Homo-oligomer: A and B are copies of this chain.
Amino acid sequence: MRIEPHSPVPIFQQIADGVRSAVAAGVYRPGEMIPSVRQLALNLVVNPNTVQRAYEQLEREGLIISRKGTGMVVAPDSKLAARNGVEQSLRQAMTQSIAQARAAGLPRAIIDRAYRDAWQQSPEA
A residues contacting B by CB (< 8 A) are 5-6, 8-10, 13, 17, 20-22, 24-26, 47, 66-69, 82-83, 86-87, 89-91, 93-106, 110-111, 114-115, 117-119, 121-125
Give the distance in Å from the alpha carbon of A105 to the alpha carbon of B25 in the complex: 5
A94 and B69 in contact (CB under 8 A), knowing A100-B86, A105-B24, A105-B25? no
- For A117, the chain B residues whose CB sits under 8 A away are 91, 94-95
- For A9, the chain B residues whose CB sits under 8 A away are 8
- Asked if residues A118 and B104 are in contact (CB atoms below 8 Å), the reply is no
- For A98, the chain B residues whose CB sits under 8 A away are 115, 118-119, 122
A87 and B103 in contact (CB under 8 A), knowing A13-B8, A95-B122? no
Q: How far is the CB of A61 from chain B (nearest CB, A)?
A: 12
Partner of A21, one of B24, B69, B100, B115: B100
Q: How far is the CB of A86 from chain B (nearest CB, A)?
A: 4
Give the distance in Å from the alpha carbon of A13 to the alpha carbon of B7 in the complex: 12
A95 and B67 in contact (CB under 8 A), knowing A90-B111, A125-B102? no
- For A122, the chain B residues whose CB sits under 8 A away are 95, 98-99, 102
